[in-house]
Amino acid sequence: MTQRPSVAAGSVPSGSAASTTAGPSPGPVQGVQELPRGGAVPARAVDRGRLTVVVNPSAGRGRALRLLGGVCAQLSHWAADVRVAPTRSLDHAGELAAAASAQGRVVVALGGDGLAGAVAGAVAAAGGVLAVLPGGRGNDFVRGLGLPDDPRRVAAELARAREVRIDLPEVDGRPFLGIASVGYDSDVQVIADRARLLRGRHVYTYAALRALAAWRPARFTVTVDDEAPRELRGWTVGAANAPCYGGGMRFAPDADLTDGLVEVVLISHTSRLTFLALFPRVFSGRHVHTRHVRVLRGRRVRVEADRPFAVYADGDPLATLPATVEVRPSALRLLVPTTATVPVADSLPG
Q: State pLDDT tens for residues 307-324.
A: 999 999 998 999 999 999
pLDDT in tens, 224-277: 999 999 999 999 999 999 999 988 899 999 999 999 999 999 999 999 999 999
Cβ-in-10-Å burial (0-12, 13-18, 19+) of 162 comes to middle
Terminal alpha carbon distance of the chain: 25
**pLDDT-derived band at 11, boundaries 50, 70, 90:** very low
Amino acid at site 41: V
- pTM of the full structure: 0.84
On whether the CB atoms of residues 231 and 220 are closer than 8 A, the answer is yes
Q: Where are the beta strands (DSSP E) in the chain?
A: 19-20, 47-55, 81-86, 105-111, 129-134, 161-171, 174-175, 179-183, 218-224, 230-240, 262-268, 293-298, 300-305, 310-313, 316-320, 323-337
Q: Looking at the chain, which residues constitute the CATH 2.60.200.40 domain(s)?
A: 179-328
Rounded mean pLDDT, 41-64: 85
DSSP state of 314: T
CATH superfamily, domain 19-168+330-337, is Probable inorganic polyphosphate/atp-NAD kinase; domain 1 (3.40.50.10330)
How many C-alpha atoms does 3 have within 13 Å on its Cβ side? 15
319, 312 contact by CB (below 8 A): no
Over the stretch 102-148, which tens digit does the pLDDT of each residue have? Answer: 999 999 999 989 999 999 999 999 999 999 999 988 899 999 999 99
User: CB of 267 within 8 A of CB of 284?
Assistant: no
Q: What whole-number distance in Å separates Cα of residue 186 and Cα of residue 180?
A: 10
Reference 127, options 39, 252, 58, 241; nearest CA is 39
Q: What is the architecture of the domain spanning 179-328?
A: Sandwich (2.60)
- Domain(s) of CATH 3.40.50.10330: residues in the chain: 19-168+330-337
CA dist 157 and 149 (Å) reads: 13
